[in-house]
Amino acid sequence: MRNRILPLLILSLGISLGFAAAPTWAVPEGAMPTSPAAGGQDDEGKANLAYNIGLSMVETGDQATTAADAATDDATRKTALESARASYTEARAKFQEATRLNATMPGAWNMVGYTERKLGNYDEALAAYERALGLNPNYAQAIEYRAEAYLGLNRIDDAKQAYLDLFASNRALSEQFLGAAKKWVMARRKAPGNASTAVVNDMDRWVQERTRIAAKTAALTREGAAASWR
pLDDT (tens, 9 = 90+) of the chain, 230 residues, equals: 444 444 433 334 333 333 333 333 344 456 666 655 544 578 899 999 999 999 999 999 999 999 999 999 999 999 999 999 999 999 999 999 999 999 999 999 999 999 999 999 999 999 999 999 999 999 999 999 999 999 999 999 999 999 999 999 999 999 999 999 999 999 999 999 899 999 999 999 999 999 999 998 876 554 444 444 34
- What does the chain look like in DSSP terms, one character per residue? --TTHHHHHHHHH-S----------S-TT-PPP-PPPTTS--HHHHHHHHHHHHHHHHHHHHHHHHHHHH-SSHHHHHHHHHHHHHHHHHHHHHHHHHHHH-TT-HHHHHHHHHHHHHTT-HHHHHHHHHHHHHH-TT-HHHHHHHHHHHHHTT-HHHHHHHHHHHHHH-HHHHHHHHHHHHHHHHHHHH--TT--HHHHHHHHHHHHHHHHHHHHHHHHHHHHHHHTT-
Any domain includes 98:
yes
Of the residues 137, 167, 197, which one is the last residue of a structural domain? 137
Any domain includes 149:
no
Q: 11 and 122: one domain?
A: yes
Q: 131 and 21: one domain?
A: yes
Q: 44 and 132: one domain?
A: yes
Any domain includes 148:
no
Q: 114 and 14: one domain?
A: yes
In one letter, which amino acid is 191? Answer: A
Q: 96 and 41: one domain?
A: yes
Q: 14 and 102: one domain?
A: yes
pLDDT for residue 42? 87
Please list, residue by residue across 73-95, b when 16 or more beta carbons sit within 10 angstroms of its beta carbon and e when fewer do: eeeeeeebbebbbebbebbbbbb
pTM above 0.85, yes or no: no
Q: 36 and 101: one domain?
A: yes
Q: 165 and 204: one domain?
A: yes
Range of the domain at 221: 155-230
Any domain includes 150:
no
Any domain includes 108:
yes
**Considering its fold, how many domains does the chain have in total?**
2
Q: 44 and 127: one domain?
A: yes
pLDDT for residue 132? 98
Any domain includes 80:
yes
Q: 180 and 213: one domain?
A: yes
Of the residues 79, 106, 137, which one is the last residue of a structural domain? 137
Any domain includes 167:
yes
Q: What is the CATH number of the domain that holds 92?
A: 1.25.40.10
Q: Maximum distance among all alpha carbons in the chain?
A: 62
pLDDT for residue 216? 87
What is the rounded distance in angstroms from the CA atom of residue 144 to the CA atom of residue 25?
13
Q: 105 and 192: one domain?
A: no
Any domain includes 229:
yes
Of the residues 108, 137, 166, which one is the last residue of a structural domain? 137
What are the φ and ψ backbone dihedral angles of 224, each rounded to 5 degrees? -65, -40
Q: 4 and 32: one domain?
A: yes
